[in-house]
Amino acid sequence: MANHSATKKDVRQATKRRDRNRYYGKTTRNAIRDMKATSDKKGYEEQLPEVVSMIDKLAKRGIIHKNKAANLKSKLTKKATTLA
């Protein structure tokens, strides 16, 4: 366990950051899952900008890598074009 006050503070901050990052990541994953479950094109395209924005924010915050964000967005938009 940490002995210095600055180290104790750093542990507290890291815990808060980890919980916040886990929340953002899980919320985005759930949104992606719900969007993939949608079968109608109109509903899918309505959700797409919101989910893409969430993915961009994850990449900006460093929770996921920017290439992973690009791959996710690419797959989602590709599915949007294939839905009939």
Residue 2 has a pLDDT of 74
The pLDDT value recorded for residue 84 is 64
10-residue averages of pLDDT along the chain (84 residues): 88 96 97 92 93 97 97 95 83
Tell me which residue has tokens 């104790």: 8
